[in-house]
Structure 1
């Protein structure tokens, strides 16, 4: 974002996240009160104002540093806003709607200055000319043309036509005489803005989503770029950056900055943004990953993952556990650096990665996937860069589990859905960075003869192998000849995870039946353990420590998560909890571990007691206390239930007024905040309006202004209230017409003496007379009736 080179602003559904790039931490989030998704946003060039547009057709101006909404107003667009941008002075804001209209706003004087209506379809791009004295706005819509608007006359002075698809990005030269446009038609057009004509068409050979003009003062000779002219970078559907130079000779130079395959859609680049203050570029991929490139070399400096799907496996990596490697519901592996949250995305597998395991020293790890293969990866401990050094592909079905040797980096074991377990020798020596991965040698193979192996682990002395299976058992194997030594039984469902202790001759098993069992490997007997567990949505996580008499003076700690199980022999560790949306890490001291089951049960029981108390208060018609309980629990839906219960009484209006006036100031303030949310829904708007009528009738403006964010709440109420009034007005009109039709049906059956009146009613004038004579007109017809 602009001058604040260390800050990035990203949207996520109904909220905006403020990301600190250097540390990778989300400093704070700005969230919409109405929980409507944000469709577009823009940050002013002076980095002071942030404006967001939501599906509720509202524009909000934020002081994003203080996390405060400073202004709210209706967008006037009939449909959501698709694009917006500030001018270079940070005083004008342009918004492009899905209805083909463009609005210009003076954000200082707070009014709409222009309404431009000649575009067809969605206006998905608006840009001001960098020379503000020209007062020109450029826009792109689905009709493939680029329109130039003269803001002095509010007219379209020209339509630039060259692309066969909608233009996706615009870049202006420093002198403002040249425009570069990109499109999904795989070309970039270079325009002479004085002649309004195409100077050159540059083929890109991929759908382009973004284009950025590089500063002319930078030296790109290290990448082979020679000659004078404009240099620009494009980002597109192949997940590649292309640097191109347009010079007087019309030559085109392209430098591919990615070694990714062309046919992988998840790596498509959807946005390309300049970071001029730090001389970097930011790109956003189709998988919501944010990549930061350093110029002029255009090397990847940082990567941030915006979305994690289901987490299938996670392991520590690097010396002193500086990184973690994560297998998500994807063919890519992700290696997070804990200090900065920066991520490396590893490509190699062609289908979902199912399991990973790390060698003892933490610089190498193995992965296996549904593509019937396994790969060996190595980390450079100095730079932290990870690359693939070897691969194996002798399985005939998906490889579901992999285990690495513990004493030396000598071998690894894989288990597949083809019901085989294979032992692989590692190549010696390993290839250097940048070299193609070599093939691993198959040392030994054996069939499990029954169900497939879901999880495997190797004993610390590299002599034993344990495997967990869907047949509800775990097996102990001798790695020398893959002979079966024994079977651990006792679970009622499949065994999803097995793990040896690093300090004792015991094996832990986690099963789909929700239990954890510890076994002695000498006699295959089960031990009793102390378990601390929590469960949510059917996914179990277990954290336990064994009793002191379990082994000598040390304590062994075990973390068992969804699809992974890791022993921790130390006293302080970083544990990681992943879901489909978030990645959370925290420090945990095992010396202070305690069973929290009773605490959770007590909290759940307290919630049930509160709900029961609320029901009792409503039954006894103690509305003041019931409403106070709902507000204290911060439950807007429960408070709405109380309001509706009051309004259903015979004297509901008086009862509601008497109840609300007995509330404290902070409780009235909470109700006002709830009303903003209730008013957005036609089902609850009448309840919100009833509460507002009481508050605005009995409280003075001075009292209301003492509430926090009163201005914001009232501005949010106005547009929806106007919409509800329009709807009710249309309903009243329709109801009068139904009354007229009903009366007409009755008149047709009357004697002939009344026929003249029936004929009069057949005219519009008769309808008006009938409405005036037969019923009291609504308030909006008073002026008409008086005439």
Structure 2
């Protein structure tokens, strides 16, 4: 005969130690929780308010340069090491954790235009206005191996960008043309040209390692394959692109920072239109850099702000600015996905949190769980008017606020004019999608 009895396991209600929290049983039957939705809405409202209260993204400023910043470099093996190049040719190594200078060297005569790391040799390559490519060792903890370059290559023309292959001893430079170099040779092993006066930014793909993309002065974006003898494809936009960055997780996706205040995300398999247009800046966008996860990127602009975008959304998630920060020249996302660096022409490097309300100290398991629950609740009720208003609100400088209103009015006027023309014209004009309007021509 079976007898049903109540069985209570002490592990379900007894604490292991006196310091442990009390374990409370919970019944998840929805019939016992008739006010679950109002309760969750209240928790979401409190969570989004607290997020804005604790949104303090600025961490510190690295002060020491005597001229404006031109480029930033992240060491692939040391999270706290940051390299910076300035307009006076000065190269500095920073310890970001301690916020101090580790080593300083006069690397070039004139601007340091770009820098790139070689992962297999732990070397840093820099290019400048003095037509030199310099190789530096980056292994000593005190930075003493930056005293002198271990190799110098003299080029025929001034270089404006450099990028290194992920796994081979090959680097690509841009200037008058796209050149490929090997570490052991003083002459380029291959040169690509496609009717462009000059190139200002070049990047190796980190997934499809043989593919290179570059931005040209004729408003073009050009794709190269180092295994081919000629460039692959070329697309011309309405205005010039200043910088380019590949998505580190999606092989075919890259984003360009454009002079028309927008960023454009392209799929290199289809150049008929960008897959996304990222708006909100009110001046030329100078630099862009992806996060290690590939889900977000940071942009630096001449409107004295940096913005953080979700790679699949048109509008920025956050905007960072200070009263003393001037026009931005470079930006970088740390390799641990927690910080953002920005360099501006008033000689300062600023450190920001990638998520403005994130706690930097030790986060205990219970606190981490609570933060995850709050984030999910805010996401669940994100479209409710009160929560949406608080979640989206940002203080912006007055010049950004006024310029944004002017741009909005001009866009509304352009749409109204297009509608009137289409309404009062007998022969209907073809409808061009907004994303395709930025494309002038495409060549293969």
TM-score by length of 1: 0.33
Deviation at 1:299, TM superposition (A): 7.5
C-alpha distance 160-26 of structure 1, shift in aligned 2 (>3 A) = same
Deviation at 1:210, TM superposition (A): 2.1
Kept in 1: contact 2:291–2:337 (CA 8 A): no
C-alpha distance 15-201 of structure 1, shift in aligned 2 (>3 A) = closer
The structure richer in strand per residue is 1
C-alpha distance 52-106 of structure 1, shift in aligned 2 (>3 A) = same
1:125 and 1:44 map into 2 onto residues whose CA distance is 16
**Deviation per CA, 1:504-532, whole angstroms, max 9, x where unpaired?**
xxxxxxxxxxxxxxxxxxxxxxxxxxxxx
1:72 to 2:149 alignment: no
1:105 to 2:176 alignment: no
2:249 to 174, 187, 194: 174
Instruction: Give 1:292's aligned residue.
Output: 351
1:211 to 268, 273, 288: 288
Deviation at 1:94, TM superposition (A): 1.2
2:133 and 2:286 map into 1 onto residues whose CA distance is 26
C-alpha distance 293-194 of structure 1, shift in aligned 2 (>3 A) = same
1:42 to 2:120 alignment: no
Deviation at 1:106, TM superposition (A): 0.9
Deviation at 1:37, TM superposition (A): 2.5
Deviation at 1:71, TM superposition (A): 1.5
Write out aligned runs for 1:518-533 (5 A): none
Kept in 1: contact 2:281–2:301 (CA 8 A): no
Instruction: Give 2:126's aligned residue.
Output: 52
Partner of 2:303, secondary structure, is coil
Partner of 1:297, secondary structure, is coil
Aligned residues: 279
Structure 2's unaligned 5+ residue stretches are 1-73, 361-395, 400-444
C-alpha distance 7-90 of structure 1, shift in aligned 2 (>3 A) = farther
1:287 and 1:209 map into 2 onto residues whose CA distance is 15
2:260 to 172, 185, 189: 185
Instruction: Give 2:276's aligned residue.
Output: 200
C-alpha distance 88-96 of structure 1, shift in aligned 2 (>3 A) = same
Larger Rg: 1
Kept in 1: contact 2:127–2:133 (CA 8 A): yes
1:257 to 2:319 alignment: yes
Partner of 2:167, secondary structure, is coil
Deviation at 1:298, TM superposition (A): 7.2
C-alpha distance 234-73 of structure 1, shift in aligned 2 (>3 A) = closer
**Deviation per CA, 1:734-779, whole angstroms, max 9, x where unpaired?**
xxxxxxxxxxxxxxxxxxxxxxxxxxxxxxxxxxxxxxxxxxxxxx
Instruction: Give 1:137's aligned residue.
Output: 212
Partner of 2:332, secondary structure, is strand
1:92 and 1:176 map into 2 onto residues whose CA distance is 19
Instruction: Give 1:94's aligned residue.
Output: 172
Instruction: Give 2:334's aligned residue.
Output: 275
C-alpha distance 72-146 of structure 1, shift in aligned 2 (>3 A) = same
2:196 to 120, 130, 136: 120
C-alpha distance 50-215 of structure 1, shift in aligned 2 (>3 A) = closer
Partner of 1:235, secondary structure, is strand
TM-score by length of 2: 0.56
Deviation at 1:108, TM superposition (A): 4.7
Deviation at 1:110, TM superposition (A): 5.8
Instruction: Give 2:136's aligned residue.
Output: 62
Instruction: Give 2:302's aligned residue.
Output: 237
C-alpha distance 19-116 of structure 1, shift in aligned 2 (>3 A) = same
Kept in 2: contact 1:87–1:132 (CA 8 A): no
Structure 1's unaligned 5+ residue stretches are 218-229, 302-346, 351-787
